[in-house]
Amino acid sequence: MFPKTIHTLPCDLPEDNHVVVVSADLDGFTEAEQALYHSWLTPRESARVNAIKFPEAAQCSLLGRAIVRAVAAQWRHTSPDLVEISYQESGKPVLDSVGNSSLHFSITHHRNQVAVTFARNPLGVDLESPMQEDKIKLARRYFVPQETEFMEAHKGQERNEYFTWLWTLKEAEVKRIGGAMAHVMGKAGFEFLPPEGAAGIKAIRRIGHPEDSTSYQLYRTQVGMLLSLACSTPFITGTNLWIGRPNTGYQHSVPSLLAQT
């Protein structure tokens, strides 16, 4: 029998300009655990999950929703099945406000990995594996000219890596605004400035938006994936990352920060 104990995330509700990330994978994801998580969902949510054709993607979707409900329930002192989630006209899911406490979230999954982010401000998250093929033709079609020029100045795997950096930032931006990729392709451009100091962390700058009030971060996770964040705040003062599932417990993680605004 799978234990129904919901482990407490050893982390408080994020303060202003802070982001909490909960990452998990499908290793050991039993049918009993899945049944428990399904019991937390509304009929509409369960229907969305069950409509996904590919089993791995469906399990990731279920796990992401379960993490949202478990963590939000902890911070709001309720049970996961009572957490209220509604949908904007764009289809973006949002947590209903409780009093003066606003809490936003974003979910992403890639292969068997899931990441859920929480913040006081609207945000988006994306996970990607570094591309292994040259995508310069795709960049010329969809990226802004400065991005394409930047990619053309690099070759081989370095070019593929930078393509993934740009692509995942665009995906995170789409989730932040609750739109579609068509809303950012050819419009939302990014550039990476040389790192300052010994840490080697590059600076991210929005092309054409010098005074943008959105912050971006790009990490490499412990399994080698790229994780990007876009948050509606002028700066992110802290990012707290945890690995685990509601019924298996959590461990603190320190991913490698590659670039940030």
Domain span at 55? 18-260
State how far the alpha carbon of 66 is from the alpha carbons of 3, 36, 37, 38, 144, in Å.
15, 9, 6, 8, 37
Q: Are the C-beta atoms of residues 16 and 233 closer than 8 Å to each other? A: yes
Specify the pLDDT at position 210. Answer: 62
pLDDT of 167 higher than 80: yes
Average pLDDT taken over every residue of the chain: 91
Rounded Cα distance, 133 and 128, in Å: 14
Nearest 5°: the CA angle 27, 119, 213 is: 125
pLDDT of 163 higher than 80: yes
Taking Cα atoms as reference points, which of 97, 106, 120 lies closest to residue 15? 120
Does residue 234 sit within a domain?
yes
Does residue 228 sit within a domain?
yes
Does residue 69 sit within a domain?
yes
Q: What is the DSSP letter of 81?
A: G
Residue 1: pLDDT band (50, 70, 90) is very low
Does residue 128 sit within a domain?
yes
pLDDT of 241 higher than 60: yes
pLDDT of 245 higher than 70: yes
Specify the pLDDT at position 94. Answer: 86
Does residue 7 sit within a domain?
no
Question: How many structural domains does the chain have?
Answer: 1
Q: Residue 229 contacts by C-beta under 8 Å, 6 or more apart in sequence? A: 19, 21, 117, 123, 124, 125, 172, 215, 216, 217, 218, 219, 236, 239
Residue 189's CATH number: 3.90.470.20
More confident call, 197 vs 163: 163
Taking Cα atoms as reference points, which of 30, 111, 100, 41 lies closest to residue 73? 41
Specify the pLDDT at position 87. Answer: 84
The end-to-end CA distance of the chain, in Å, is 47
Residue 98: pLDDT band (50, 70, 90) is low
Average pLDDT over residues 248-260: 94
Average pLDDT over residues 255-260: 95
Specify the pLDDT at position 101. Answer: 66
How confident is the model over 46-95, as pLDDT tens digits? 999 999 999 999 999 999 999 999 999 999 999 999 999 988 888 888 89
State how far the alpha carbon of 81 is from the alpha carbons of 28, 29, 35, 70, in Å.
23, 20, 13, 9
Specify the pLDDT at position 181. Answer: 77
How confident is the model over 19-29, as pLDDT tens digits? 999 999 999 99
pLDDT of 150 higher than 90: yes
Does residue 2 sit within a domain?
no
Does residue 81 sit within a domain?
yes
Does residue 9 sit within a domain?
no
Pairing of strands 93-95, 215-220: unpaired
Taking Cα atoms as reference points, which of 117, 40, 34 lies closest to residue 82? 40
More confident call, 86 vs 127: 127
Taken in order 233, 239, 243, 245, the sign of the CA dihedral is negative
